[in-house]
Structures are given as structure tokens and as C-alpha cells.
Amino acid sequence: MAASAAACAGFFFDAEPLGEPGLPALDACALCAKRLGRDSDVFMYRGDTPFCSEECRGEQMQLDAARARRSAGRRQQQYSRKVSVAS
């Protein structure tokens, strides 16, 4: 019984806790889906999003910046339409 308890104890401590639903797991790159090994570097972005490399993280940052610029442009267009209608 002691041998089986030792085997189970190793498995218990190797198990990763379940994350919150909707948050990315730390087992794969959020951009390219490459598996992240336990002994490999993990590059984080926005606190809880893992990437396999600085390149993947940088690409995601560029995508987010472009999305933010488009969103800001849409808000500006909506605001200018409301102002011109009200005049």
C-alpha cells in the first residue's frame, strides 16, 4: 500500500489545477496553439495569456492595437453622426 500511495502522491502534485472558465489554459500558446512544455519559457501578456515566444506575443499585441484603433475609429464616426444630426 505504501508503494501505491507514493505513486499517487507524485501524480497528485503533478496535476495542474483547473482554471476559471473562459481563461486560457497555460498548456498551449494562445496564438499558434503550440504546446508549452513544463521546462520551456512562457511569455505572458495581459496577465494570464500565455505565448510560446516573444514573436507570438508581439503579434498578438499588434493585433490588439489594430483592433483598438478600428474600434476607436468606429466610435469617432458614431459620435460625429450624432453631432451632425443634432445640429
Tell me whether residue 46 is exposed, middle or buried, using C-beta atoms within 10 angstroms of its C-beta: 0 to 12, 13 to 18, 19 or more.
exposed
Please count the structural domains in the chain. Answer: 1
* 17 occurs within a structural domain: no
The range of the structural domain enclosing residue 67 comes to 26-79
Extended beta strands in 6-52, E state: 43-45, 49-51
pTM of full prediction above 0.75 = no
* 51 occurs within a structural domain: yes
* 86 occurs within a structural domain: no
Q: How confident is the prediction along the chain (87 residues), in pLDDT tens digits per residue? A: 455 555 554 444 454 555 555 555 688 999 999 999 888 899 999 988 999 999 999 999 999 999 999 988 777 777 666 655 555
